[in-house]
């Protein structure tokens, strides 16, 4: 990468050159107003001795102050969507380490995973270019272990220059050029500590998911590498197969209820207590129902554009005896009351 591109990214090459010769791992963290989460995420990385790049998109709280105090390399770039932001980081950050790890600010590594990553990146003879990490979901302080939530694997660690983020509006995954394996230990994903944040985020994501699902119907071309839906593939490829080839073939508004029943009842999500009831109902039913509602709304608007004629009004005819019967009732004598 040339000096001009490094300068455009806002990172000083002279400051990084010596440190990058020692480090084996770079960590990329996307942030926006993450002063509550970022310190814990950074603390979990301490024993890895990585180069940490914080790519911020307009924080107005203490996020940048916290990142700079922790000796992170801070770069500011406007946010369009997660895929664009992550791929921009790959293209413009002066990553000189053999390995790259991608995290969100509300994620953190367990000590066991830190030790496993240190061992993995130090091996010279590994046949793999990427590794999937096992996610442990925390919702309102509780580990959500049932309902198909654990274990769940996500590709986050890969050789530098071998990974890209697929160009999707929602449910983006990283794609690696080469063989992929799994690590045994967990990273922690703290979904939310309050329902207001959860609902606000998922309302935005439901809009993106609806647009993503409708994209093939509108002729939107997919660019770059993608996760192929394969029942016999990796954990990510199997999830993509089940979502696109099975779930989406069920009727709108029916599939969220079936999805909730499958996770909460058949996969025993009820064992996660009250937090599990709230999580599985919101995540599996409410969120998916909201996605379907937004799909229905867009399809309805599209059909009205194609056929702008107003719907024919229904004609209600009341006979004279029925009219006299209705008008003779005293106020408050509603027979259905």
Q: What pLDDT, in 10s, does the model give residues 151-166?
A: 999 999 999 999 999 9
pLDDT at 4: 46
Q: Percent of the chain beyond pLDDT 70?
A: 83
Q: Is the pLDDT of residue 13 over 70?
A: no
Q: What is the mean pLDDT of residues 82-93?
A: 96
Average pLDDT, the chain: 88
DSSP of 136-174: EEEETTEE--STT-SSEEEEEEEETTSEEE---SSS--E
Q: What is the pLDDT of residues 95-147, one digit of tens each?
A: 999 999 999 999 999 999 999 999 999 998 899 999 999 999 999 999 999 99
Residue-wise pLDDT for 198-227, tens only, equals 999 999 999 999 999 998 766 555 678 999
* CA–CA dist 239, 218 (Å, integer): 24
Q: Does residue 2 surpass a pLDDT of 50? A: no
Q: What is the pLDDT of residue 11?
A: 56
φ/ψ of 237, rounded to 5, equals -65, -35
Ramachandran sector of residue 141 (left: φ over 0; alpha: ψ -120 to 50; beta: rest): left
Lowest mean pLDDT among 6-10, 81-85, 165-169: 6-10
Question: At residue 285, does pLDDT exceed 90?
Answer: yes
Instruction: Identify the CATH number of the domain defined by range 1-107.
Output: 3.90.550.10
Nearest residue to 168 via CA among 77, 108, 230, 236: 236
Domain ranges in the chain? Answer: 1-107, 197-306
Can you give the pTM of this predicted structure?
0.83
Higher pLDDT: 311 or 166? It is 166
- Residue pair 217/210 in contact (Cβ under 8 Å)? The answer is no
CA distances from 100 to 29, 94, 153, 280 (A): 11, 12, 17, 32
């Amino acid at each position: 990468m040339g000096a001009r591109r490094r300068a455009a990214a806002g990172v000083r090459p002279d400051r990084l050159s010596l440190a990058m010769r020692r480090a084996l791992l770079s960590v990329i963290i996307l942030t926006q107003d993450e002063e509550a989460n970022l310190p814990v995420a950074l603390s979990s990385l301490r024993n890895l001795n990585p180069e940490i790049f914080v790519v911020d998109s307009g924080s107005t709280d203490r996020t940048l102050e916290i990142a700079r105090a922790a000796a992170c390399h801070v770069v500011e770039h406007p946010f369009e969507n997660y895929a664009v932001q992550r791929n921009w980081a790959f293209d413009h950050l002066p990553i000189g380490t053999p390995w790259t790890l991608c995290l969100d600010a509300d994620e953190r590594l367990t000590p066991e995973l830190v030790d496993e990553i240190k061992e993995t990146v130090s091996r010279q003879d590994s046949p793999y270019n990427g590794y999937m990490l096992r996610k442990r979901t925390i919702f309102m302080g509780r580990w959500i272990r049932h309902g198909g939530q654990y274990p769940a694997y996500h590709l986050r660690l890969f050789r530098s220059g071998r990974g890209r983020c697929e160009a999707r509006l929602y449910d983006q995954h990283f794609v690696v050029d080469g063989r992929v394996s799994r690590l045994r230990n967990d990273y922690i994903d703290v979904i939310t500590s309050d329902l207001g944040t959860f609902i606000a985020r998922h309302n935005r994501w439901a809009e993106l998911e609806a647009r993503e699902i409708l994209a093939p119907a509108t002729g939107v071309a997919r660019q770059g590498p993608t996760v192929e839906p394969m029942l016999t593939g990796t954990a990510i490829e199997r999830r993509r197969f089940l979502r696109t080839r099975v779930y989406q073939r069920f009727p709108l508004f029916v599939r969220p209820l079936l999805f909730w029943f499958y996770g909460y009842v058949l996969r025993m999500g009820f064992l996660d207590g009250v937090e599990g009831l709230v999580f599985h109902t919101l995540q599996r039913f409410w969120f998916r129902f909201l996605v379907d509602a937004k799909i229905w709304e867009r399809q309805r608007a599209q059909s009205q554009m194609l056929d702008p004629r107003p719907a024919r009004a229904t004609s209600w005819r009341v006979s004279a005896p029925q009219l006299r019967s209705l008008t003779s009732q005293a106020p408050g004598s509603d027979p259905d009351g």
